[in-house]
Amino acid sequence: MKLEELNTEKNVVKKLIEGNENSFKKLFDKYHQDIFVYSKSLVKIDAQAEEVTQDVFVKVWTYRKNLDPNLSFKSLIFTIARNLCFNFLKKAANDKALAEEVFYNNQRSQKLCDTKLIEEDYEKLGRLAIDSLPPRCRLIYNMSRNQDRSYNEIACELNISINTVKNQMSKALNSIRRYLMTHGDIVFLLMVFLKGY
């Protein structure tokens, strides 16, 4: 964005802070479609992407007095959109039917020739997430997920308590989720939840 555009947008944000509805409409018209497309890339459902987009601008209007005109308005609204999408996807991860709808919509939107490459990327990303775990966490995670061992079996074999196994698994899963949210496509995260990782 050019300096002149930045200064113009800064002035529009200043007027928005004062409650100017025309300024709000200008920003809405300018960014509505971009936020929708970005949200749809994450949630995969048109209706949900539209809801996220509306929620972004409701939040902007509701909290307009807290805006800082010196900060990037575009960065702010994309951050809000991302957080709203992640909140929706966390909810979807706990609702199997909703998660399957998100996953189905993503699969339907992918071209068949791209699917193999995407799956390879997901597998690589999953391996990197697991490799990023501390050694003990990784060992317990692999014993549980890849060797299908129960917590009790792991505890006996490693001569540790079941609570230690549970705590290490909890740390591993949280770390993997954070890694995937930071580095990957959210659909892979849903795949992980659906497979019961």
Q: Domains (ranges, CATH) in the chain?
A: 3-93 (1.10.1740.10), 111-194 (1.10.10.10)
* pLDDT at site 15: 93
- Residue 111: is its pLDDT beyond 50? no
| CB atoms closer than 10 angstroms to residue 41 | 15
The pLDDT of residue 148: 84
7-53 pLDDT tens trace: 688 899 999 999 999 999 999 999 999 999 888 888 888 888 899 99
Instruction: Please say if the pLDDT value at position 179 is more than 80.
Output: no
How far is residue 36's CA from residue 10's CA, in Å, rounded to a whole number? Answer: 22
From the DSSP assignment, how many helices (H) and strands (E) are in the chain? 10, 0
For residue 4, what pLDDT is reported?
58
CA–CA gap between residue 158 and residue 146 (Å, rounded): 16
Q: Using CA atoms, how far apart are residues 107 and 102, in angstroms rounded to an integer? A: 9
Angle in degrees, CA 122, 123, 129, rounded to 5: 90
Cα-flanking dihedrals φ and ψ of residue 59, to 5°?
-65, -40
Q: How far apart are CA 148 and CA 152, in angstroms?
A: 12
What's the confidence (pLDDT) of residue 119? 56
Give the span between the Cα atoms of 53 and 37, in whole angstroms: 9
95: how many CB neighbours lie within 10 A of its CB? 11
Q: What is the pLDDT of residues 149-168, one digit of tens each?
A: 899 999 999 999 999 999 99
Of the CA atoms within 13 Å of residue 42, those in its CB half-sphere come to: 27
Q: Which residues contact 49 (CB under 8 A, 6 or more apart)?
A: 36, 39, 40, 42, 43
